[in-house]
Amino acid sequence: MKKKYIYFIIPVLFSVFVQSCNDLTVPVTTQITSDVYPKDSAQFVASTGVVYAALRGNYAGDYYFMTTLTTDEAILPARGGNWYDNAGYLKMHYHTWNPDHGGTSTIWDWLSRIIGYDNQTMYILNNNMPAGNFKTRTISELRMVRALAYYWMMDMYGNVPIVTTYGDFQPKAKSDRKDVFNFIESEIIACLPNLSTTVDQTTYGRPTKYMAYALLAKLYLNAEYYTGTARYNDCVTACDNVINSSKFALEPASTYLQMFYPNNGPQMKEFIFALPYDPSFASLSGTNGNMYHARYDVPRSEKAKFGIPFTPSSAENTLPEFYAYFYDKNDVRDGQWLTGLQFMNDGVTPIMVTTTKKGYDQFYTGSDGGATYTYQVNLTPKVVLRQDSSLFDCGNDEISWNMGYRNIKFYPDASSTSRNQNNDEPVFRYSDIILMKAEAILRGGTATQGQTALSLVNTLRSNRTTSAAWSTVTLDSIYNERSREFTMENWHRNDMIRFGKYEGKWGFKVNADTYRRIFPIPTEAMAKNPKLTQNPGY
Amino acid sequence: MKQTPILVKEVKASLHLKTNQTFRLVVVLLFGFFCATSGLYAQHTQITLITRNTPVSEVLKMIEAKSNYHFAYNNKLIDVTRKVDVEATNEKISSILKKIFENTDVTFKVLDLQIILASSKEMGESVNNTNNDKVTGKVLDDRGEPLPGVSVLIKGSKQGTVTDYKGLYSINNLPKNAILQFSFIGMITQEVKVGSQLVINVTLQEESKGLSEVVVVGYGTTTKKGLVSAVTSIKPEELNKGAITDVGQLLQGKAAGLNITVGGDPTSRASVILRGPSTLNSSMEPFYVIDGIPGVDISLVAPEDIESIDVLKDASATAIYGNRASNGVIMITTKKGKKGVTHVSYSGYAGIENVTSTLNMMNASQLRAFATQTGQNLTEDTGANTDWQKEIQRGTAFSTSHNLSFNGGSDHNTYSASINYTNKQGIIKTSNENNIIARMTFDQMAFNDKVKIGLSVANARTISDYVPQLGEVLLQAASHLPTSPVKNTNGSYYENFNKSGYFNPLAIINYNQDQTKNNNLVASFTTNVKLPFGFTYDINLSYQNYSSLHGEYYDSYMYNYNGSVFYNNPNPPDTKSIVTFGQGGTALRNSYQTTNQSLENWLTWNKTFGAHSVNAVLGYSYEDDIYGDGFQATNINFPVNTVGFNNLALGNYSAISGAKVDFGSDQSYSKQRLISYFGRLNYNFNDKYYLQASLRRDGSSVFGINNRWGYFPSVGLSWRAGQEKFIQDLGIFDDLKVRASYGVTGNSTGFNAYTAQFLSSSMGNFYSNGSSIMSYGPNKAANPDLKWEKTATSNIGLDASVLKGRLSFTVDLYNKNTTDMIYWYDADILLVPAGGLYANGGSMNNKGIELSVTAVPVKIKNFSWKTSINLASNKNTITSLSNPYFVGGDSIRYTQPDGSGQTGSTLQIRQTGHPLGQFFTLIYEGKNSDGISQYLGKDGKLTINPTSDDYRYAGSPQPKLTYGWSNSFTYKNFDLSVFFRGVYGNKIFNVTRADLFRPSSVAFTNILVAAGNESVKDNNVYKYSSRFIEDGSYLRLENMSIGYTFKRPVKYIESLHLYGTVNNLFVITKYTGVDPEINQGGMAPGVDSNNFYPKTRTILFGLNIML
């Protein structure tokens, strides 16, 4: 019998083999996994790109609409049913948006996406990157992008959930605005020592120490509104940290407008932090990533004048209430507007349009409505809802398309082959530091370094206009100056709220609900995160 | 099988010693039967034997040694000591035997591998006559044929005899009150009190169907009576007949609970759902195991090569395949060689296929009349009257098949080989499928027959010629104006590109090509080692390689199409995409291969201790799978169109501005590994009480690093109540068994193998130090917690057989709960920036009852009728769609057919408390006084301007009942089978009809004749709504086959069977579409959209020859 046991050697041997085959690890050889990427410095840089592509995402488009069309800066009425778009722009203008409004969910998603990708990228880099200065700086830059996104999120939605890690999929409840404020402040302060002080092409588009100070200044300037506690002295200090670096300077009047041209970039000495746009950039999926200002603002009749390859939609224009700030004929900033009779770039050739009488005026009742009609384009300041005021519609004829003054600050890009433009968009400019410091002093902060509110404003104005310097400065005049200086730069909503003007009347708006200083939590976001609660009033 | 001769000797001895004879004889016969169920007769086996002056017993031994035959005889009756001379060269055994027993009273009868020698004198006569208590008689089977070899035993003694070839027996020395026991393998043992009878004739009844039939289960076999789980075994003769190349189609309607839908397109596969959909994943199909090799593609099996199919339905049967078994397991066994029997057989058929049903579109005169009547102007009327549906069809599609196989074996090896060729034309022009399947198996015994090694290789090569842009071709054929001609007078195709989206479907068919060549190879090497103490050990190594070579070519003609684009027009839930045609012709080629390598080994212990018997299996399996290993390339701008896709190098895309090569998906390749440990214990007491318990521990690399291993237990009990005396005393049941089981199975398929990991891809450009850099990052979230989807099934079953096996039935009740469903959940972007991820969550329930009844209502001498019916009812409910972390998933509306003017309209909703595929749409409420279709609004009022807010629940596509009813009749050598099947109680959303229901658009497109009764003013008429939801119940005469068998028509032909078969003879339904058989698998069951493919009827003639 003993011999029989020998037979069992086979399965026994086999089970030994089996034990050695208990490994489920399948090396992934055909995909970019986190085991193989990112591994070197070029790959670390490339992996941070996701966050920057996300950041650029909806800033020049949807965020611009949300911060501009909700103010007196611009209006986007329907024209014969075109651009009605489910009353989206109407609700922005009237201040009647609700949690289902497309804009409110697009911005929520965009900011969430920046934060989400930022956390995810940091999670990967923390695992993959060797410790050292490069890592410390890269991570600090990502934290600053996250702080900026949180700043916008807090500014737009008030109380928002704070998520700082990737991998915990438990839904997060909202934090109080005050706590979000403190979180942003602490993040900036924590990152400051690690951020670069170099201001050139190598740091363009990335957060530097000065971007951090600028964000801090913005936070402190609005602190009283956000938290009830004034932080004006802190704002002045933050501004001084930028001013004292001497890395930035105000553009003279002669080059102010060029600052926003398609070829702008790291050479702009006023740019503390800008988002680079380029028509050749592929967008991050889920975001827009494009820069489309000419599409909305340039009259359809001026395609040739600006040499753009497409016929612009021409749907957006400013309101007389806002254009009223541009009364100084000597101010270089007037040059960003198209008003009145239109001429080609030589300044003398009139821009003519040939249409029919009916095409010029859809309400023409004469029997010769089909007769040819040629006229020189003449932009009129007011928007009149001629066709249907309930549908926010001024009609679909030449009169309608010429309503409203047009902004071409982000100058049309004749070199692009699409609607997408090459103009980079500044988030923080040096002039903002100057005006923030001036405003902070006016609001109770202590003047420093011999710079008073008046001297600061006049320093700026001397680079914008040849008119005489101001002898006095008030909060209102600072507000007006900010309106001129930062037109179409996405800060006007923030300014209006801080100056208490957001509930004012302009255009066709009558609603004055103060709860609309923050937007509602979008329905879809509440569906995806059951812990979210709706903002008061909505 | 070396033991068999030894046993024969023992039989001889035992008869001599009159000990234990019955049992051993049965064993002999049993072996005999297992060796050859239908073999050649000894008369045909030729041997050479030369011997002088040798006792008969020795001669018989020599014959045994030179053949596979064994002799059974009683040496008291037959004088085997007589010495004989034999001189035979290549002589038949029968003639040798004749010579040996010339001038004796010994006769012989061949019973498969047994040769029974008998004395023509009554057996008892040669035995000592101790008294006169003698009984003689005849034993017959239930068809009145004599039964030789029946053991006749005096109950309680060891004394007995065997019937001779005439079924006659004689038995002496009967004690008082003797009871005779008549037993024969496969027959019910009968006992007869002798009393004063002198002649006792007995008719033995067949044992209730298949109780001792072998059933293939995972890692072993069992018998029907030993089963504790719900398994349906299907024999080849029960499979569907016809020009069928798809195993799914063979099984349609044959097993209760198996819901199989087959579309009209022959190049598309059947959808197979067992006991209702149990997942939201794409993988709802059962797991196939072919000859013990798990995960083999079923295209490798030619229908003619199938020996048996076992459908494992409940978890106690499937849990041994743990990780991949939650949709059920289908075990396919192919024909194998048998010792001592050489089979050569050929089967072939030729069939013709004709269209039975197409859409009833208007012809030219109907359309003109309707246009005139309604004040519409046809945008084109050249005076033609074209039936576009007919134009794209072949008048008759032909199919042919040839299968040649041979198998056999000797004492130490068996082999089988077959080659199968099938060519099947589709009914739409150019579509064709051509298969060649070759299969070979060889088993060799070694080391004193302790080790059996086997090699099996099969290769299937398929060339599928598809209709290029089939969806668009069918749409154009249905909607093209009949007033457009097919060709211009110069012979070129007539086109009118001024009409948007208007293309000549015949031009699309004829100018383009779409072909896939698949090659599928599977090879396995098996080793079975007999170990001492009842242990056996098995190792299986297998390799499978599935490769495809696909090509598409779009002629330069297509570039002239307006915009050089059109929509591909697929069936939902696939979404439309734009097909762009490049200048100078567009060619696409891709080649991908999938390989699976697996190693499985297990140790089996089989032991019987008195009434206790134990079977235990302990095993390990390892599998590496690689999917999508290959590449794709495209090119455009070819100098000629004649090379098609065959030479990509001839194109010149770089000369065309903006042209790019399409390299296909960057995530086609994936590799995964599965490792499993499994054990199973079967215990039975006295063939009455059965217990089975199994546990499988499975690991899969596709899951998150934290949750790769899962446990899949099962337990099953059965009680053969029919063996209990109190049941037997009732005298009702021949067999009665109660079963109960519970088990858990898993699902690890239906999503990418790297789903749980971070995979980076290009994520947009950004500015970095003066340059534009492409950023790379994860485009989806890693889910390190992704784990098994689990399905727990409880099953209660009852098997019963009454009326001496003439009526048997099986009932199963089951409750199946799937939890932790793996599904794409929308997530908070703040947490998961990609917007969602594959995660576990949600649950689904299927409850059902299955009944199958088999009866033999008539069985007389020349005629028999056997009928069986199976019924299954299943109720599917989504019980949850939530996930602890992500809420996205519930109340999602889906299936968007994108009919013209209906973009955004959805048909179905995925919602807790409702079945998968729940229809959710507008409720049609007739027409208002202006003749406009009106719908039930959200507020309960009628509206003619409905929106998606007004959607309501509108029926379920899940059938209430599926059934199949087969009948087979034999009369002498004729056989007839008739098979009906159908479904009841399901709804179909007839989107095809809605899309062709546009009376106001006849200027541009053709419409259904039925739409001619509608008002052209009714702009709602075509709106997807409950109006287009129809009852999908049907009854189809699936196939009817009549055949005749010639037994030994000529010398070398064993049998010849000729038959004719008709498929789809008729269908009874109220459904208005082409055919009510609409795909019931996948996420969008029961949606008839773009279902223009004509339904056909096949008539074929075939023959099977066995040599």
pLDDT tens-digit profile of A272-294? Answer: 999 999 999 999 988 999 999 99
Question: Band of the pLDDT at B222, cuts 50, 70, 90?
Answer: confident
More confident residue, B376 or A220: A220
B319 CA: distance to closest CA in chain A (Å): 20
Where b means 16+ CB within 10 Å and e means fewer, A150-166 reads: bbbbbbbbbbbbbbeeb
- Which of A14, A36, A50 is best to mutate for the B interface (most B CBs within 10 A)? A50
Q: What is the mean pLDDT of residues B803-828?
A: 90
Question: Alpha-carbon distance B571 to B564, whole Å?
Answer: 22
Using a CB–CB cutoff of 8 Å, tell me whether A47 touches chain B.
yes
B1017-1062, pLDDT tens digit by residue? 888 999 999 999 999 999 999 999 999 999 888 888 888 999 999 9
| Residue B1083: partners with Cβ closer than 8 Å, 6 or more residues away | B280, B282, B573, B894, B895, B910, B916, B917
User: Residue A422: closest CA among chain B residues belongs to which residue?
Assistant: B767
What values do phi and psi take at A389, rounded to 5?
-70, -30
Question: Alpha-carbon distance B399 to B303, whole Å?
Answer: 15
**Does residue B17 have a pLDDT over 70?**
no
Question: Alpha-carbon distance B1018 to B746, whole Å?
Answer: 51
Q: What is the mean pLDDT of residues A435-461?
A: 97
Question: Band of the pLDDT at B19, cuts 50, 70, 90?
Answer: very low
- Which of A33, A47, A201, A528 is best to mutate for the B interface (most B CBs within 10 A)? A528
Structure-derived torsion over alpha carbons of residues B598, B599, B605, B606, reported in degrees to the nearest 10: 40
- Using an 8 Å Cβ cutoff, are B1088 and B1073 in contact? yes
For residue B130, what pLDDT is reported?
Answer: 42
ipTM: 0.93
**Does residue B11 have a pLDDT over 70?**
no
For residue B442, what pLDDT is reported?
Answer: 94
For residue B1048, what pLDDT is reported?
Answer: 81
- Using an 8 Å Cβ cutoff, are B741 and B794 in contact? yes
Q: Which of B794, B789, B784 is nearest to B818 (CA)?
A: B789
Q: Please report how many Cα atoms fall inside a 13 Å half-sphere around the Cα of residue B417, on the Cβ side.
A: 3
Using a CB–CB cutoff of 8 Å, tell me whether A12 touches chain B.
no
Residue B352 vs residues B243, B428, B465, B873, B1065: alpha-carbon distances, Å: 9, 14, 18, 35, 13
Using a CB–CB cutoff of 8 Å, tell me whether B1068 touches chain A.
no
The residue behind tokens 């035979």 is: B88
For residue B728, what pLDDT is reported?
Answer: 85
Q: For residue A60, what is the DSSP state?
A: I
**Does residue B831 have a pLDDT over 70?**
yes
For residue B124, what pLDDT is reported?
Answer: 40
Considering only CB atoms, A37 lies closest to which of B667, B760, B768, namely: B760
- Using an 8 Å Cβ cutoff, are B1014 and B1030 in contact? no
Residues of B numbered 745-774 whose beta carbons fall under 8 angstroms of chain A's beta carbons: which are they? 753-754, 757-770, 772-774
Q: Please report how many Cα atoms fall inside a 13 Å half-sphere around the Cα of residue A96, on the Cβ side.
A: 12
For residue B364, what pLDDT is reported?
Answer: 94
Structure-derived torsion over alpha carbons of residues A344, A347, A348, A354, reported in degrees to the nearest 10: 30
Q: Would you call B713 exposed, middle or buried from its count of C-beta atoms within 10 A (0-12, 13-18, 19+)?
A: middle
**Alpha carbon B251 to its chain's center:** 5
Q: Would you call A184 exposed, middle or buried from its count of C-beta atoms within 10 A (0-12, 13-18, 19+)?
A: buried
Question: Alpha-carbon distance B46 to B49, whole Å?
Answer: 10
CB contacts of A170 in chain B (<8 Å) are 885
Question: Alpha-carbon distance B760 to A37, whole Å?
Answer: 8
A488-535, pLDDT tens digit by residue? 999 999 999 999 999 999 999 999 999 999 999 998 898 888 899 999
For residue B31, what pLDDT is reported?
Answer: 34
- Mean residue pLDDT of chain A comes to 94
Q: For residue B86, what is the DSSP state?
A: E
**Does residue B35 have a pLDDT over 60?**
no
Q: Which of B410, B316, B129 is nearest to B745 (CA)?
A: B316
* Interchain pair A25, B701: CB under 8 A: yes
* Interchain pair B675, A21: CB under 8 A: yes
Question: Alpha-carbon distance A107 to A524, whole Å?
Answer: 12
For residue A11, what pLDDT is reported?
Answer: 67
Residue B572 vs residues B281, B326, B791, B881, B993: alpha-carbon distances, Å: 16, 25, 27, 22, 15
For residue B24, what pLDDT is reported?
Answer: 36
**Does residue B743 have a pLDDT over 80?**
yes
For residue B562, what pLDDT is reported?
Answer: 61
* For chain B, percent of residues with pLDDT exceeding 90: 44
For residue A20, what pLDDT is reported?
Answer: 59
**Does residue B491 have a pLDDT over 70?**
yes
For residue B112, what pLDDT is reported?
Answer: 60
Strand partners of residue B361: B1008
For residue B990, what pLDDT is reported?
Answer: 94
Residue B187 vs residues B184, B577, B791, B856, B874: alpha-carbon distances, Å: 5, 63, 40, 16, 37
* For chain B, percent of residues with pLDDT exceeding 70: 92
Residue B876 vs residues B22, B287, B912, B958, B959: alpha-carbon distances, Å: 53, 20, 11, 7, 10
Question: Alpha-carbon distance A266 to A272, whole Å?
Answer: 10
Using a CB–CB cutoff of 8 Å, tell me whether A43 touches chain B.
yes
Considering only CB atoms, A33 lies closest to which of B701, B757, B888, namely: B757
Q: Which of A310, A306, A318 is nearest to A407 (CA)?
A: A318
Residue B282 vs residues A13, B312, B750, B752, B838: alpha-carbon distances, Å: 40, 21, 5, 11, 13
**Does residue A298 have a pLDDT over 50?**
yes
Strands of B151-154's sheet, edge to edge?
Answer: B160-162, B151-154, B179-183, B190-193
**Does residue B45 have a pLDDT over 90?**
no
Q: Would you call A452 exposed, middle or buried from its count of C-beta atoms within 10 A (0-12, 13-18, 19+)?
A: middle
Question: Alpha-carbon distance B87 to B82, whole Å?
Answer: 16
Strands B759-768 and A32-33: antiparallel
Q: Which of B256, B269, B235 is nearest to B1081 (CA)?
A: B269
B948-970, pLDDT tens digit by residue? 889 999 999 999 999 999 999 99
Q: Please report how many Cα atoms fall inside a 13 Å half-sphere around the Cα of residue B921, on the Cβ side.
A: 30
Q: What is the mean pLDDT of residues A101-117?
A: 95
* Interchain pair A530, B887: CB under 8 A: yes
For residue B211, what pLDDT is reported?
Answer: 62
Q: For residue A59, what is the DSSP state?
A: I
Residue A519 vs residues A98, A139, A174, A337: alpha-carbon distances, Å: 8, 30, 14, 30
User: Residue A43: closest CA among chain B residues belongs to which residue?
Assistant: B776
Terminal-to-terminal C-alpha distance of chain A: 87
For residue A140, what pLDDT is reported?
Answer: 98
For residue B689, what pLDDT is reported?
Answer: 93
Q: For residue A62, what is the DSSP state?
A: I
**Does residue B184 have a pLDDT over 80?**
no
A186-225, pLDDT tens digit by residue? 999 999 999 999 999 999 999 999 999 999 999 999 999 9
Extract the tokens encoding B553: 């070519």
Question: Band of the pLDDT at B564, cuts 50, 70, 90?
Answer: low
What values do phi and psi take at B889, rounded to 5?
150, -35
Question: Band of the pLDDT at B16, cuts 50, 70, 90?
Answer: very low
For residue A63, what pLDDT is reported?
Answer: 97
The residue behind tokens 């009714």 is: B1018
Q: What is the mean pLDDT of residues A107-119?
A: 97
Bond before B573 cis per omega within 30 degrees: yes
Residues of B numbered 618-647 whose beta carbons fall under 8 angstroms of chain A's beta carbons: which are they? 620, 622, 624
- Mean residue pLDDT of chain B comes to 85
Torsion sign, CA atoms B722, B727, B733, B734: positive
Using a CB–CB cutoff of 8 Å, tell me whether A116 touches chain B.
yes
Question: Alpha-carbon distance B537 to B804, whole Å?
Answer: 39
* Interchain pair B601, A115: CB under 8 A: no
Question: Band of the pLDDT at A14, cuts 50, 70, 90?
Answer: low
pTM for the full predicted model: 0.78
Q: What is the mean pLDDT of residues B5-33?
A: 34
- Using an 8 Å Cβ cutoff, are B735 and B722 in contact? yes
* For chain A, percent of residues with pLDDT exceeding 90: 85
CB contacts of A43 in chain B (<8 Å) are 776
For residue B129, what pLDDT is reported?
Answer: 39
Q: For residue B959, what is the DSSP state?
A: -
Weakest-pLDDT range from A353-362, B169-178, B982-991: B169-178
Question: Band of the pLDDT at B111, cuts 50, 70, 90?
Answer: low
Question: Alpha-carbon distance A500 to A508, whole Å?
Answer: 19
What is the three-class DSSP state of B963?
Answer: strand
- Using an 8 Å Cβ cutoff, are A518 and A103 in contact? no
Weakest-pLDDT range from B77-86, B284-293, B500-509: B77-86
The residue behind tokens 């098949």 is: B401
B683-725, pLDDT tens digit by residue? 999 889 999 999 999 999 989 888 889 999 999 999 999 888 8
Using a CB–CB cutoff of 8 Å, tell me whether A117 touches chain B.
yes
* Interchain pair B767, A7: CB under 8 A: no
Question: Alpha-carbon distance B833 to B828, whole Å?
Answer: 8
Question: Alpha-carbon distance A287 to B962, whole Å?
Answer: 48
Question: Band of the pLDDT at B4, cuts 50, 70, 90?
Answer: very low
For residue B126, what pLDDT is reported?
Answer: 37
Strand partners of residue B617: B604, B680
Q: Which of B705, B684, B680 is nearest to B694 (CA)?
A: B680
* For chain A, percent of residues with pLDDT exceeding 70: 96
Using a CB–CB cutoff of 8 Å, tell me whether B605 touches chain A.
no
- Using an 8 Å Cβ cutoff, are A364 and A348 in contact? no
What is the three-class DSSP state of B975?
Answer: strand
More confident residue, B586 or B299: B586
Q: What is the mean pLDDT of residues B571-589?
A: 83
Using a CB–CB cutoff of 8 Å, tell me whether A366 touches chain B.
no
More confident residue, B1058 or B276: B1058
Q: Which of B793, B920, B887, B895 is nearest to B844 (CA)?
A: B793
**Does residue A58 have a pLDDT over 60?**
yes
Highest mean pLDDT pick, A236-245, B599-608, B679-688, B887-896:
A236-245
What is the three-class DSSP state of B715?
Answer: strand
Query: What does A350-417 look like in DSSP terms, one character per residue?
Result: B-EEEEEHHHH-TT--STTTTSEEEEE-EEBS-----SBTTTTB--SSHHHHTBS-EE-SS---TT-S
Q: What is the mean pLDDT of residues B111-115?
A: 66
